Amino acid sequence: MSLEKLKDWVGRTQATEDLAAPFPVRALAATFDADDPEPKNGDPLPPLWHWLYFLDAAPQSKIGADGHAERGDFLPPVPLPRRMWAGSRFSFDGEPVRVGDPIGRKSEIRSVEPKSGSTGSMVFVTVKHTISGPRGVSFVEEHDIVYREAAGPGEQPKAPKPAPADATWTKTIMADPVLLFRFSALTFNGHRIHYDQPYVTGTEGYPGLIVHGPLLGLLQIELARRANADKIPRSFEFRALSPVFAGAAFHIHGRRESDGAITTWAANATGGLAQQGKVVFR
């Protein structure tokens, strides 16, 4: 299938329902070492914790070589082997989803854009998710996925630019395989780049296991919201710039801006900028 033909997927929709059960909330809080109270029905679900729900339970026989569900159903059958989470944007305009709520998600393919870069052909797919609860639409998420060509012989990730050094808050986290496994399990993410060392190094050409982009995004907004517990996020966005690899500590930073927004970023073990974002409060 030609890359241009993939644009036929634009406009496709998918609807999913779930229940915002308390156990995943407790499990993610434990994974984050957060000393939170036991979650109860009626508690507001923190921003981005909806990723604990609406999980894609594809049959084992329908799993592709990378551990994801085979493409060509809802997501277009992009003929490029490497897939990464490129970024997300959130608008929190409605009432928050609460623990115990029946919840729904409507997803729509908004764009499919073939591009060329220094490492060859790429395809960016943007999916819009609208999440609702008993009180109506809660928030909207736009998720960018990038598909890339296979790694060339001896290909190495490009060195990231240095991260800013003027953080207001910083949290250091050890990127060990157990953290990656627990997050993969909580989000039912079978992508082998997060747990299969021979696959990620031998097939995809990376030097080690990769920390999940959405895990970094969650940690970024967690740092900002916990440092501003009296405020409610209105919007959040993050963009992946360079992978963070397991086996060393990484750092989540936040900086208060003059307009009250919080600039967030993730830095790898050597201080390279891996992911950047911004939280705006109501």
Q: What is the mean pLDDT of residues 133-160?
A: 91
Which residue, among 123, 104, 126, 107, has the nearest Cα to 115 in the 3D structure? 123
User: What percent of the chain is modeled with pLDDT above 90?
Assistant: 90
CA distance 220 to 212: 13
Contact by Cβ (8 Å): 90, 235 = yes
Which residue, among 132, 133, 129, 152, has the nearest Cα to 142 in the 3D structure? 129
DSSP annotation of 226? H
- Residue 1: its pLDDT value, please? 61
Beta strands at 273-281 and 262-267: parallel, antiparallel or unpaired: antiparallel
* Tens-digit pLDDT profile for residues 169-207: 999 999 999 999 999 999 999 999 999 999 999 999 999
Contact by Cβ (8 Å): 87, 238 = yes
Domain count, the chain: 1
Range of the domain at 165: 4-281
Query: With 90 as the cut, is the pLDDT of residue 154 above it?
Result: no
142: β partners: 89, 128
- Residue 157: its pLDDT value, please? 77
In what side-by-side order are the strands of the sheet with 249-256? 13-19, 102-117, 120-133, 136-148, 82-91, 233-240, 273-281, 262-267, 249-256, 169-174
Structure tokens that stand for 220 in this block: 């970024």
- Residue 4: its pLDDT value, please? 76
- Please, which pLDDT band fits residue 261 given cuts at 50, 70 and 90? very high
275: β partners: 240, 266
Structure tokens that stand for 53 in this block: 């729900």
Contact by Cβ (8 Å): 167, 250 = no
Dihedral sign computed on CA atoms, order 231, 235, 240, 246: positive
Say which CATH number the domain at 97 has.
3.10.129.10
CA distance 201 to 203: 6
- pTM here is 0.95
- Please, which pLDDT band fits residue 71 given cuts at 50, 70 and 90? confident
* Tens-digit pLDDT profile for residues 43-53: 999 999 999 99
Helix (H) or strand (E) segment spanning residue 32: none
* Tens-digit pLDDT profile for residues 221-235: 999 999 999 999 999
Query: With 90 as the cut, is the pLDDT of residue 2 above it?
Result: no
CA distance 21 to 29: 14
Query: With 90 as the cut, is the pLDDT of residue 281 above it?
Result: yes
- Residue 5: its pLDDT value, please? 87
Contact by Cβ (8 Å): 225, 153 = no
Q: Which phi and psi (to 5°) does residue 181 adopt?
A: -65, -45
CA distance 280 to 259: 9
Q: Which phi and psi (to 5°) does residue 124 adopt?
A: -105, 125
- Please, which pLDDT band fits residue 155 given cuts at 50, 70 and 90? confident
Query: With 70 as the cut, is the pLDDT of residue 152 above it?
Result: yes
